[in-house]
Structure 1
């Protein structure tokens, strides 16, 4: 993001030190930190002295520097002041306008993936998509994204419930076998998104991708839907790319680091396809 206007150069130079410390992720010696910040050791030391006084940086007994308690407090305030639903809702219109497609926010409800917000696109769809629409965990793109990044015991419970209920007018997407989860999850985690083509609604395509918080936990899914003749699902196509880029921006604003290792979190340690490397997702309701 480019911010126009005159700033304070010394603050921006000092910011390079904090950026280097945050990127490295562990305590650093002065010479290494200075090199990473493109400063001389003497220059870096002067900034570090001020940062130590402010609590932005601290020094251990071995002389190594690391992020200090005040910086941690700032990070915590940042994380708790950003609500994922609020951020996604505020910006979803941009994705819809950029792609010309219908865009929606899907969260995990008591009965499974549930639409809570919809932005109409320029492409007119003869479908009824509204807040409260319930999606199948495995029969829709949105559901498959949740299935890839939720605890698998939880996913199995949702799928078992769908299978017990069977096809329903209150749920979009037919329930599928629990055995299909593993293959789907592997693909979604490798690419960072899921798609559907003409299923469950003929002539409608969908692209879905996850939004993560600072802990690497999936918070919601962003989904684009559109007519098959316009919305393509190619991996490097404009709609997949736009959805992934949007989700990467929202995740980043929530403090998500796609490169962080998170053992024990399904798929999160791989950074959902590294969010595609930071983005190089009375008529019948449609798929999502």
Structure 2
């Protein structure tokens, strides 16, 4: 849809009806006609026609106690729309723009059965061959994206891989890593240097989906000590901003 279509004359009754559906959805509970009238600022006499049409079409359902909630047809539409929010396609423009802005290799990692792997790998114009590419699997505990997933995914999805990698580590190493994971949750990003490849620093930020769950890890890979990755630095702010834009492209509401 282009700007002309967006700015052109629309159908006011349709826009009003969609606004009613959005308000009902936002409440996250069944509502009476009186409650809907109040939150929408629409008289009951006018509101009744919309509720009747939405109920007939399956966009709303009416319970025996005369309360309205989202109907099956509307939920199915939402599911179909969410299926189109493909992580790779939706985030690629932001990935490319970040690479151009900072001239560093950028990548997008997702979680697989055996841990995180890179779905997309975009090299900078001064990239060094790291032997990593799209499809490469990385460590859960030693890579920046792995640590991000460990923090933001449900524990039951990561714990078995976490324990497998940590089984030969001593208590001090385990406690140090747990402290670093706690910091990631506070700061919103992970940094590793030399843990996967000597002399290489990786920075990862979480990318969330429309349900507020982690969908991917935006990762910047660079030579150690080339960029300032301290909290609040320009580079970190750009990475976090890009991760938020990616999340919003996937339907995330901050």
Task: Tell me the TM-score normalized by structure 2.
Answer: 0.76
Question: Could you tell me which residue of structure 2 aligns to residue 145 of structure 1?
Answer: 148
- The Cα shift of 1:229 comes to 4.3
Question: Equivalent residue for 1:196?
Answer: 191
Structure 1 range deviating more: 42-51 or 95-104: 95-104
Of the three residues 194, 202, 207, the one matched with 2:203 is 207
Is residue 2:31 matched to residue 1:28? Answer: yes
Candidates 47, 50, 54, aligned match of 2:53 = 50
Alpha-carbon RMSD: 3.4
CA distance in 1, matches of 2:222, 2:142: 17
Match of 1:281 in 2: none
Shift in alpha-carbon separation, 1:28–1:194, aligned structure 2, 3 A? same
Is structure 2 residue 176 aligned with structure 1 residue 183?
A: no
C-alpha contact 1:95 1:246 (8 A) present in aligned 2: no
**Deviations 1:157-183 (CA, angstroms, capped at 9, x unpaired):** 3234435689xxxxxxxxx94444543
Rounded to whole Å, the distance in 1 between the matches of 2:35 and 2:97 is 41
What is the SS of the residue equivalent to 2:133?
Answer: coil
Equivalent residues in 2 for 1:72-111, closer than 5 Å: 72-89=75-92, 91-109=94-112, 111=114
Q: CA deviation at 1:105?
A: 1.3
Larger radius of gyration: 2
Deviations 1:24-81 (A, max 9, x none): 1001122322232233333322322221221111222222221111101112222334
- What CA deviation, in whole Å up to 9, does each residue of 1:230-267 have, x standing for no partner? 45342585224323313422441xxx56xxxxxxxxxx
Q: Partners of 1:142 and 1:70 in 2: how far apart?
A: 38
Which runs of 5 or more residues in structure 1 are unaligned?
167-175, 258-277, 279-288
Answer with 38-47 or 66-75: which moved more.
Answer: 38-47
Q: Deviations over 1:136-172 (max 9, x none)?
A: 2222221111111334355343234435689xxxxxx
Distance in 2 separating the partners of 1:206 and 1:213? 23
TM-score, L = length of structure 1? 0.69
Residue matched to 2:14: 11
The answer (yes or no) to whether the contact 1:207–1:239 under 8 Å persists in 2 is: no
More helix by share: 2
The number of residues matched between the two structures is 244
Residue equivalent to 1:248: 247
